Amino acid sequence: MSAGHGFLHRPGDSPVHRLTPQTKIVATVVAVLCVVATPREAFWAFGVYLLALTAVWAVARVPVRWFAARSVIEAPFVLLALLLPFTGAGDRVDVLGVSVSEEGALAGWNILAKGTLGLLTSLTLAATTAPQDILLGLQRLRMPSVMITIATLMLRYAEVIVGEAKRMRVARISRGDDPRFLWQLGATARGIGSLFIRSYERGERVHLAMVSRGWTGRMPDGGGSPEVVAPQRSAPALVVERLAYAYPDGHQALFGINLTVERGERVAVLGPNGAGKTTFVLHLNGVLGGGSGRVEVAGLPVAKEHLKEIRRRVGVVFQDPDDQLFLPTARQDVAFGPANFGLRGAELDERVDHALRAVGMEEFGDRSPLHLSGGQRRRVALATVLACDPEILVLDEPSANLEPVARRELAEVLLGLDRTMLMVTHDLPYALQLCPRSVLIDGGVVVADGPTRELLADTGLLAQHRLELPFGFRLD
């Protein structure tokens, strides 16, 4: 998403912005059909359409240059339209000494006028309606849900590709490459190949993060309230018994995890690379399942019929904040989860404000997540999960890639939260600072469970499981 989207789609910008998305979609379709059905010789009618569009742009205050930049996609059609007068059949006339086909000229004009007006009409819709509102409009117009899902994922995938392309471009330019030059075309072509592979992988991770925040394949629409199953007050926050799991390729990652976490506990999940920590964590909100054993969240079994409620109760903050942030503004990203769980209107706004305030990002709500620093993105990613008001907060490597100050600030935010927390981390001092208790997972089982200070002071245990305190860090 470009910065322009945030600017263009600020709701309530103008009377055009304030129209419901379904009104704008219907108006767009009707306008395009009228343009297409207009006889090509009715030149005056095309002039009227253009005037009407200009009036809409003036009311909506959309800069003309926004359209100019996006009209580039019409270039192949313009080329065809310009060729037709010279290549067309039928009667020919002389224009400035060049022989031009009358029929060809009219056909070229037909393509140019209708194509341009059709494109400008569609762009007007895109300029005044946020992508997710267009999807919502289509849904309200009773478009089949499978098509809405496909459109939503296509939109998200397009954003993923643009994001990856930007990152790869920055990486290439910073290594002395200049993609504008023709002789770099080979490198550009190779880049496009890896772009699609990377985008596919990121798309998978983004989908996981969407599912974790209650995404069921439909855009959240008005009305309704969250269906909340009251947690059993007496039950522990989390009970895991004999949890075993093999990936579809047959790789057995978990061999029987046992763990009980009481309400309000903060527990670090430690272990070497490939120990099974992420696999374990993805079972807590049912993103992974189908293995054997039992997982219960506040007395409610993690099972298909309870998934929505489970995902409301267990909030997972993924390792890479970019997997969690995908909408044009931070606010919209934070609202995504609670809206999926049924919150609307003032209640939703309040929840979003509260979550942004909790992570100290209230002033960044209208910014595009793409324009935030790494530490700020991590805080917004945390807010996207806090906004769902989960009983258990699961954090995967929260301190990864953070500068020392951002790392400390995040610790302060986390320490200020009053909820059950599981934190997967390789950052042992962070575990010590934030979590009084730690479990050590290796080879798909829990090999140690106890006070963090005691575990980290056991140098033999750490060495046996490829864990190491940072240089100069001692626990006596």
Ligand X SMILES: Nc1ncnc2c1ncn2[C@@H]1O[C@H](COP(=O)(O)OP(=O)(O)OP(=O)(O)O)[C@@H](O)[C@H]1O
* Span from 134-142, 277-285, 325-333, 445-453 in contact with ligand X (CB under 6 A): 277-285
278, 353, 417, 464: which one contacts ligand X (CB under 6 A)?
A: 278
Rule CB under 6 A: is residue 90 a binding residue for ligand X?
no
Cα 407 from Cα 411, distance rounded (Å): 6
The tokens describing 91, both together, are 């009667």
Instruction: Tell me the C-alpha to C-alpha distance, in Å, between residue 219 and each of 41, 133, 141, 226, 310.
Output: 43, 9, 13, 15, 20
The Cβ of residue 204 has, within 10 Å, a number of other Cβ atoms equal to 11
Nearer to ligand X by C-beta: 249 or 476? 249
Burial 11-37 (b: 16+ CB within 10 A, else e): eeeeebbeeebbebbebbeebbeebee
Nearer to ligand X by C-beta: 413 or 424? 424
Give the helix, strand, coil percentages of the chain, each rounded to 5.
55, 15, 30
Nearer to ligand X by C-beta: 108 or 271? 271
Binding mask 236-275 for ligand X (x = CB under 6 A): -----------x-x-x-x-----------------x-xxx
Q: Where are the beta strands (DSSP E) in 73-141?
A: 92-95, 98-101
Nearer to ligand X by C-beta: 338 or 444? 444
In angstroms, give the least distance from the CB of 277 to ligand X: 4
CB within 8 A of 267, min separation 6: which ones? 261, 421, 422, 423, 435, 437, 438, 439
Nearer to ligand X by C-beta: 135 or 467? 467
Cα 435 from Cα 232, distance rounded (Å): 24
In angstroms, give the least distance from the CB of 318 to ligand X: 12
The tokens describing 415, both together, are 């320490």
In angstroms, give the least distance from the CB of 198 to ligand X: 16
Nearer to ligand X by C-beta: 86 or 255? 255
Rule CB under 6 A: is residue 290 a binding residue for ligand X?
no
In angstroms, give the least distance from the CB of 271 to ligand X: 5
Rule CB under 6 A: is residue 200 a binding residue for ligand X?
no
In angstroms, give the least distance from the CB of 383 to ligand X: 24
Site for ligand X in 122-151 (CB under 6 A): none
Task: Give the CA count within 13 Å in the CB-facing half-sphere of 311.
Answer: 24
Instruction: Tell me the C-alpha to C-alpha distance, in Å, between residue 85 and each of 41, 73, 104, 235.
Output: 15, 22, 4, 79
24, 198, 277, 311: which one contacts ligand X (CB under 6 A)?
A: 277
Strand partners, 392: 314, 420
Nearer to ligand X by C-beta: 253 or 456? 253
Binding footprint of ligand X, residue count (CB under 6 A): 12
Which residues are near ligand X by CB under 6 A? 247, 249, 251, 253, 271, 273-279
